[in-house]
Amino acid sequence: MTELDYNFKGKVALVTGSSRGIGRAIALRLAACGASIVVNYKQNEEAARATVAELTALGVRALPVRADMEKPEDIRTLFAQIKAEFGGLDMLVINAAASAFKPLMEAKEHNVRRTFAITVDAFLPLVQQAVALMEGRKNGRIIAVSGWDTLRVIDRHGILAGAKATLETWVRYLACELAPKGINVNSVCPGPIVNTLYPHVYGGDAAGYEAWMRARVAATPKGRIGTPEDVGRVVAFLCSEEADWIVGQNVICDGGLSLTHLRGG
């Protein structure tokens, strides 16, 4: 199955944190299926506009919107712009996240507060305002991007894992509340992804990171590290009509790594 097998023409998707990394890959995948994309970013306007250029080259509409997930007023403005530009919304992918990677015993109050503000505090306002724009449209989809640190103890990931675990719980509750409205809510749980935060958190120098990489590849049944595009394909499937019967699930996409016993991410 190729991306063209999912027909998202006429649909509108908001992907938070989509100027780079996993969010960008998700946006590109949905656009390849025909969806118009709202590219949300916090600071890097240059990266956001580069992503928009890639999306428009695929023949879809793309709108860059700056919004800080820590600021409720920014979230309200974001949805006001979506309503003005597109009139509604079909897909919400909650991807934006940030954290301090340190042992829990070294965590400061502001580290916890900021992590939960972006991942947890913003979650319900995003969903509530998205649902208001989805009602009356067909097959609404809400997908949250969780993380492998909710499945395994990963060094220095305790703060983010706590926030992501809350997210996964709310996905299940919201799935039950929103399924009668024709809106499916699910989450995806990526394993280690190349060229994301892992090089900065593990390995130290280049040699250390290469050792980290080799250990994860050896422990992964598929024999490689995941890519942002791997996650994008899973999200596109969950947004499609083919996934209509998948409700309130946390879909693990890690090449089988969670089936092994490698600790430490």
The pLDDT of 190-199, averaged and rounded, is: 76
Whole-number pLDDT of residue 198: 55
The larger pLDDT score, comparing residue 126 to residue 149, is at 126
How buried is residue 4: exposed, middle or buried, by Cβ count under 10 Å (0-12/13-18/19+)? exposed
Is the predicted pLDDT of residue 204 greater than 90, yes or no? no
Q: Tens of pLDDT along 28-68?
A: 999 999 999 999 999 899 999 999 999 999 999 999 999 99
Say how far apart CA 185 and CA 168 lie, in whole Å: 10
Structure tokens at 136: 């009356």
Whole-prediction pTM value? 0.94
| CATH class of residue range 3-191+226-254 | alpha beta
Is the predicted pLDDT of residue 104 greater than 50, yes or no? yes
pLDDT band at residue 207 using 50, 70 and 90 as cut-offs: confident
How do beta strands 62-66 and 36-41 pair? parallel
Length of the chain: 265
In percent, the amount of the chain with pLDDT more than 70 equals 92
pLDDT band at residue 25 using 50, 70 and 90 as cut-offs: very high
Starting at the edge strand found earlier in the chain, the sheet holding 140-145 runs 62-66, 36-41, 12-15, 91-94, 140-145, 183-190, 250-253
Whole-number pLDDT of residue 64: 97
Residues 25 and 51 sit within 8 Å (Cβ to Cβ): no
pLDDT band at residue 98 using 50, 70 and 90 as cut-offs: confident
Q: What SS3 class is residue 65?
A: strand
Mean pLDDT of the chain: 92
Q: Tens of pLDDT along 137-183?
A: 989 999 999 998 898 888 888 999 999 999 999 999 999 999 999 99
pLDDT band at residue 2 using 50, 70 and 90 as cut-offs: very low
Whole-number pLDDT of residue 32: 97
